[in-house]
Structure 1
Amino acid sequence: MDLALLRTFVTVHRAGSFTRAASLLGLSQPAVTSQIRTLERQLGRPLFLRQARGVTPTTVGDELAQRAAPHLDALVEITESGLAGEAGLRTLHLAGPPEFTSLRALPALTRLIPQGLALRASFGSAEDTLEGLAAGHHDLAIATARPRGRLLTATPLCDEEHVLVAGVRWAARLSPAALRRDGPRVLEPIPVVEVHESLPLVTRYWASVFDTKPTAVGTIVAPDLRAVLAAVTAGAGLAVLPRYLCETALEQGEVVALLDPPVPPLRTYFLAVRTGTLGLPHIARAQEWLLRAAADWG
């Protein structure tokens, strides 16, 4: 049986779509369709049920994928081993949000460098990192959204607590009692610092804590939470930040937490891989190390 046909089949099985598989393989959709039909003729059994949106594997298709995928993944590992620049050195391509990846994931993974691991990091949104992972540009992706479908497998990594903070000057003007009594109305005069014009962190916090939507617009918008923290520390206004990012600034009195809600807003990070690639030792080791490190990221 032609290995190219099996490779195409496994990719379609994981992607759940001829179109998505074609993009991952660098083929045209008709070429993928033709290869699957050829394989089905050779086996004498249908492998997929065609639907309006994508395909669903038959029981025969599921059985074939279960039997073939580990061997194909092993062949990929042998091929990728030849990419190492020196004996025993394997490169891990990691993607995730810039702040979390820089401050938590990379420091944790550097402990694997003496074990023969090289690291390459790239930053992006959840959508970008998961698309890049699916396309084979990354080995591991950290995202705030759980991927769908069979192509990617995700494991919850950790939760981050969000804190409403402001610069010292602005915090001194607020009455905690008035904030608890009147809610976000007392915050309206304070400029807002955010990572995007849509105010994603502020909106999520307002919905969770105040059960309403913010009426403000961003006074300062910078696509990096570290820049947001720097602006708030300098007195620019208020922001919603992950506690891990602003913990030191809070302890040193550079920013002030405006509220301490009984149930603070949380956001979950997921650690995603392409299905089947945990058979590659360097990816499995990195995933295990990150999950172990995350147990201390309370």
Structure 2
Amino acid sequence: MTSLDLLATFLEIYRSGSLSAAAERLGISQPAVTGQLARLEEQIGEPLFLRSRKGVVPTPRAAALAARVSVHLDGLVGVLDSAQTEPTLRGTVRIGGAAEVMTVRVLPALAPLTGRGLSLHVTLGLAEDLLAALVDRRLDLVVSAVRPTHRELLAVPLVDEEFLLVGAPAAAHTLSAERLRTSPADALAAFPLVAYAEDLPIVRRYWRSELGHRPLNPVALVVPDLRAVLAAVEAGAGISVLPRYLTESPLAAGRVVQLHHPEVPPLNTLYVAVRRGAPDNPALTVVRDRLVEAAGHWGGL
């Protein structure tokens, strides 16, 4: 069986084009590199490089071998480097947030921490309930769409959600562009709504801020999951207001269309909240810092 050390040396020679350069990058002597290459060529049964005045030239067999092993060796190096530079995390961090943003953004950002030993327990729900659980010490961190006001909580802005009014393509075909421009609420009044809750929290806020009053539209469907709202809108059940991070893919694919384009997109800030004066918990600090760092790459949600 071929040693990983021999393959790593071979790959360094292949990439650097020189035995001496490979020895320097590996931190070993050139005779050692020459010896390892000779052993690998013996195992394979043919030369892997042709010597020249400028270094070495890989044979077709070497090129094929490099293509097969490079991704695997690079992955192993990445794992080892991560293990050496990032300390092990111990314990459990209990986090909470809305199902949609946790699924699409938060959990993918935190998942790599489990490879360092961290255990994450996740609670999905409404912001008010989750913040109450944080105050009661049943949670350690909450990603909240509501700005926490309890004096025991410390919250920092995480990222802004941008909301879009969307519908199935068929809905857009029946809209009058002129009427939508001059009287958008009237132009949209006949379309049924798909809502997150019976009191239309997201839709109502959009209508008031962008159209000037509460929505008077009939309500076709209520479902407490924005992903299900999106699925119903795609299927033609009605129109709704959804965060951009959920609609980017279906918008690009043409499964939904943006029906209204306000001059200033309506935003809602997400916060990451923890308890003030909580005992020092290195794992919790890492989780919070990782979220803040990841949110910097999300842009507006």
> If the length of structure 1 is used for normalisation, what is the TM-score?
0.69
Q: Name structure 1 gaps, 5 residues minimum.
A: 1-86
Cα distance in structure 2, aligned partners of 1:278 and 1:290: 20
Q: Moved runs in structure 1, 4+ residues, more than 6 A?
A: none
Alignment CA distance shift 1:88-1:254 (3 Å) = closer
Percentage of matched positions with identical amino acids: 43
Counterpart of 1:113 in structure 2 is 114
Counterpart of 2:78 in structure 1 is none
Alignment CA distance shift 1:267-1:278 (3 Å) = farther
CA positional deviation for 1:150: 2.6
Alignment CA distance shift 1:108-1:88 (3 Å) = closer
User: C-alpha deviations, 1:125-151, integer Å up to 9, x for none?
Assistant: 111000011111111101112222331
* 1:177 aligned onto 2:178: yes
* 1:265 aligned onto 2:266: yes
Q: How does 1:60-209 map to 2 (within 5 A)?
A: 89-209=90-210
Q: What residue identity is the alignment partner of 1:209?
A: E
Alignment CA distance shift 1:213-1:97 (3 Å) = same
Q: What residue identity is the alignment partner of 1:274?
A: R
* 1:228 aligned onto 2:237: no
Q: How many residues align?
A: 212
Cα pair 1:176 1:258 within 8 Å, conserved: no
* 1:246 aligned onto 2:251: no
Cα distance in structure 1, aligned partners of 2:200 and 2:219: 7
> If the length of structure 2 is used for normalisation, what is the TM-score?
0.68
User: C-alpha deviations, 1:195-217, integer Å up to 9, x for none?
Assistant: 01111111111111112221124
Cα pair 1:166 1:256 within 8 Å, conserved: yes
Counterpart of 2:3 in structure 1 is none
Q: Name structure 2 gaps, 5 residues minimum.
A: 1-87
User: C-alpha deviations, 1:102-130, integer Å up to 9, x for none?
Assistant: 11111100021122211111111111000
Cα pair 2:165 2:240 within 8 Å, conserved: yes
Cα distance in structure 1, aligned partners of 2:238 and 2:217: 12
User: C-alpha deviations, 1:222-246, integer Å up to 9, x for none?
Assistant: 0000000000001111000000011
Q: What residue identity is the alignment partner of 1:285?
A: V
Alignment CA distance shift 1:278-1:271 (3 Å) = farther
Cα pair 1:199 1:217 within 8 Å, conserved: no
Q: What residue identity is the alignment partner of 1:96?
A: G
Counterpart of 1:212 in structure 2 is 213
Cα distance in structure 1, aligned partners of 2:150 and 2:170: 48
CA positional deviation for 1:278: 7.0
Cα distance in structure 1, aligned partners of 2:279 and 2:144: 18
Q: What residue identity is the alignment partner of 1:101?
A: M
SS in 2 for 1:270: strand
Cα distance in structure 2, aligned partners of 1:279 and 1:178: 58
Q: What residue identity is the alignment partner of 2:245?
A: Y
* CA RMSD, 1 decimal: 1.4
